[in-house]
Structure 1
Amino acid sequence: MTYYEIKKVFSKRSSKISLVIMLAVVVFNLYVIVSDITYVNENGHEERGLGVVAKVRELKKTWAGDLTEDKIRSVIEENIRIFRSPEALSGDVQQLKKADSQKQGFYDLLALMIYDYGGFNFYDYNVTDSLTPDMAADFYPNRIKTLKDWLDSEGKDQFSVKEKNYLIAQYEAMDTPLYYDYQEGWKSLFQYAPSINMIVTLVLSFLCAGIFSTEFQLKSSAILYSSYHGRNRAILAKVKAGLIIITVIYWVFMLLYTGLVLGILGADGANCPIQSYMTGWKSIYNIKNWQEYLLVVLGGYLGCLFMLLLTMLVSAGTNSTVIAVIVPFVLIFLPAFLSGTSIPMLNKILGILPDQLLQMNIVVKYFNLYEIGGRIFCAAPLLVVVYLLAAVLIIPAIYVTYRKKQVY
């Protein structure tokens, strides 16, 4: 019966088109990722595409290793040398590009320094040009200092005293020196993973929304419920079919996306802390790239599973495919309209909504904290626990709701 329910879903032409759309989204994201990789040759001309991946990797590999004080000092000294070079002082655009091309190997490290020495919420490319080698000793202490300064100024009303202490403790708990390596594969993987998660969830909603409402739309519900197993095994088969469709399609497309991105750009840097790259520098999650990847894919699966189980529950309760399809759209897009607010309580609410599971790479960058029983928790573990329990509870709710249906 489960096989019949799965076959019924994919027998529709719209279902097959949906799968093609998802594949097209993966290919398009891959195209954008590859197009974003740039390399400036010794003549100052920009190159893009697959051919430059190896060149960029080779340049950044030369700076791989622990970010010790000596390594930071070397970066600052090299930046000073380039800044004072004839090309940089010439004023000619093409000569300036030649000078900048010499920084490609340590661009990532310069970006960290801009955040570190420029201030918590300040980003000025010119900051690095004013650094001196002696300032290398302040690299790690400065990260904690800028956080404390921000908590005493702009962020003073956003957190309680206990939450502020927690943030500072997390910063102090980061292992130093950080390990740095070429990690373009992981950076690109995380950057576009939310779009893959959201498209897969939305497309799957079209596939799963009709599992429980089809019989009512086709006027065959009376036959289903009057059959011997209509109110038990048939309903269980529908639930199992939905779970199988969600699980198989999600993991096929997510693993396909992962394999293509890391296969093209490389999986180097899996053991790098997420703070070793610009977008993760301010994170309070002391994890590595491979651990963030697990959060992204497992969180994405849990978010997809929860939203689609809720879609199936609405479908079972309303007998309407259209109403059920609206559910994931509301859960994904409504929070986006409310985000960016300066109201702490609203930010806390938005930080625990199910759409956050589809974008765990962003969750680990935010300071969303929750106090439960006197203890402070980050958003990521709470999201996993809350929606795992919710997903488990929705399954019997679907069964009971559809089993008690009356046919008139």
Structure 2
Amino acid sequence: MNSLFKYEFMKIAKKRMNIVVVLVSLCLTLFLFILPVKSYISLEKDGSQLNGLAAIQLEKEYSQELAGTLTEERVTKDIAAYQALFSNPEQVIKDGNQVLLKDDMYARYVLPYFSYYKLIDDAFLEPQVTDNGLTVLRDMKLGDTADFYQARADKVKNYMDIDFSDWKYSAQEKAFWHAKNSQVETPYVYGYHAGWKSLFQCFELLIVSIIAICICIAPVFAGEYQTGADSVILSTRYGKSKLIKAKIGAAFLFALLIFTVNLLLAAGIQLAAFGTGGWNLPLQILNVTIPYAFSLLEAALICLAVLYSVLIGMVSITLWLSAKLKTAFVVLVIDVLIILLPVFLGLSGSNGVLNHILMLFPYMAVQPAFPAEYTSYFSYPFPGLTVDIITMRIVLYVVICVVSLPFIGRAFKRHQVQ
């Protein structure tokens, strides 16, 4: 069995086309994950622009000024300081009914800390409303305290009560999400976290390496049909037993190794450039309403679990198609359609059922479920049980893998030799 496994693995790994595909995928990973580093922009307080590593270093300095616990007292004080910028007539200009800071004042006192102010501002916004101008912070009336965390709780409740055309949250789902939110610890701790934020934004790019892996393993069975080797294999002593297991095992090992190399390259580039600072900070500093009680590192590890589950699911589907179909090309066409179907159909604002299906397809599944309200609170209600989207994705692709394995061998054994 060991010799068969080794032979099948080397057969995949040494194939010239596969070597080219793997090298191309590594080059694309290198390019796609270096690009956010090279294009990273930060502005100095005099308005001059820095790019790349210099901009990242400047961002660290700004974040260090803000590092600390977001108590109600601190949030209230910071909102008051922001509003005070508008009280000096020499620092503002009027644009119709709007009072805006002059460019130099904005560049000096707001822009370097915009992400921090935006985090606070978002808690006071109505659900599904954006405010890139921080007008809520500017216009809100402060009492003894800003009630930052109460505003966050009210926003979550209001989001749960929205009627999204043909679907809405059931009482069961509301109870589920409120229970999750109760586990989120407050007050939050703020600090530098640019590396993890960038990583979450880039995780979906690893779908390229999954597609590359599917290209490499598509001919595992279909290639034998095309060359006519199936007639020889199926007539040998182990052609319908050990050899099939060796082919499946070799394909999975190849996929896991290649994907891990791509992943290490991707994460290594990002974290080497941005640093690992902020790994223990709460996930809520990315979006104040996120209901998961994870640190940034824990959230990243969960994203990896989803990525690997999608990988093994797609490998299983590819091997089953390879065993069923006569050509690797048709296998790849179906794989690409499965992976990219949400791109072609798009998410609907009114069809909740369709969205719940599309969110489980590979292209959507590799995108982190944390940053936005829409994905953070995406769930699948069953009688007596509500499953969040992260768990649903992992379970679905693991089940696909487990269920597919017996059918792969069966399809190859039942193949009619021409």
After TM superposition, the score normalised by the length of structure 2 is 0.89
TM-superposition CA deviations, 1:341-399 (whole Å, max 9, x none): 32222223333445443223459833222223412221211222232122122122212
Amino acid at match of 2:209: V
Matching residue of 1:360:
368
Matching residue of 2:317:
310
1:68–1:177: 8 Å Cα contact kept in structure 2? yes
State the shift of 1:201 in Å.
1.1
TM-superposition CA deviations, 1:313-346 (whole Å, max 9, x none): 0110112201211233122211232413322222
266-275 or 101-110, larger mean C-alpha shift: 101-110
Other structure's SS at 2:175 match = helix
Distance 1:356 1:30 in 2: 19
39-48 or 80-89, larger mean C-alpha shift: 80-89
1:118 is the counterpart of 2:125: yes
Other structure's SS at 1:407 match = coil
Matching residue of 2:97:
none
State the shift of 1:135 in Å.
6.9
State the shift of 1:28 in Å.
2.0
Distance 1:177 1:373 in 2: 35
Amino acid at match of 1:102: Y
State the shift of 1:43 in Å.
2.1
1:60–1:181: 8 Å Cα contact kept in structure 2? yes
1:14 is the counterpart of 2:24: no
The 3 A distance-change label for structure 1 pair 28 and 361 is farther
2:45–2:107: 8 Å Cα contact kept in structure 1? no
169-178 or 215-224, larger mean C-alpha shift: 169-178
Match for 1:346 among 345, 350, 354?
Answer: 354
2:225–2:326: 8 Å Cα contact kept in structure 1? yes
The 3 A distance-change label for structure 1 pair 137 and 407 is same
Distance 1:202 1:268 in 2: 32
Distance 2:300 2:161 in 1: 33
State the shift of 1:305 in Å.
1.2
State the shift of 1:99 in Å.
3.1
The 3 A distance-change label for structure 1 pair 36 and 165 is farther
Match for 2:239 among 230, 238, 241?
Answer: 230
1:128 is the counterpart of 2:137: yes
Other structure's SS at 2:381 match = strand
Matching residue of 1:109:
116
TM-superposition CA deviations, 1:61-95 (whole Å, max 9, x none): 1211211112212321332344446774268x996
Matching residue of 1:37:
40
2:36–2:198: 8 Å Cα contact kept in structure 1? yes
Amino acid at match of 2:217: C
Distance 1:151 1:388 in 2: 30
Matching residue of 2:200:
190
Matching residue of 1:390:
400
Amino acid at match of 1:347: N
Q: How many residues align?
A: 405
Distance 1:65 1:42 in 2: 22
Matching residue of 2:414:
404
2:18–2:216: 8 Å Cα contact kept in structure 1? yes
Distance 1:53 1:368 in 2: 33
Match for 1:250 among 253, 259, 262?
Answer: 259
Structure with greater proportional helix content: 1
1:53 is the counterpart of 2:56: yes
TM-superposition CA deviations, 1:189-235 (whole Å, max 9, x none): 01011112x10111111100011111211122222222222222221
Matching residue of 2:230:
221
Distance 1:103 1:34 in 2: 23
Other structure's SS at 2:168 match = coil
Other structure's SS at 2:220 match = coil
* Unaligned stretches of 5+ residues in structure 2: 95-99
The 3 A distance-change label for structure 1 pair 304 and 363 is farther
The 3 A distance-change label for structure 1 pair 360 and 327 is farther
1:210–1:321: 8 Å Cα contact kept in structure 2? yes
State the shift of 1:140 in Å.
0.5
Amino acid at match of 1:141: Q
Distance 1:45 1:85 in 2: 24
The 3 A distance-change label for structure 1 pair 153 and 94 is closer
Say what the alpha-carbon RMSD is for the aligned residues.
Answer: 2.6
Other structure's SS at 1:405 match = coil
1:333 is the counterpart of 2:340: yes
Other structure's SS at 2:366 match = helix
TM-superposition CA deviations, 1:233-272 (whole Å, max 9, x none): 2212111110111110111111221111111101111122
The 3 A distance-change label for structure 1 pair 77 and 395 is same
Q: Which has the higher contact order (CA 8 A, sep 6+)?
A: 2
After TM superposition, the score normalised by the length of structure 1 is 0.91
Matching residue of 1:370:
380
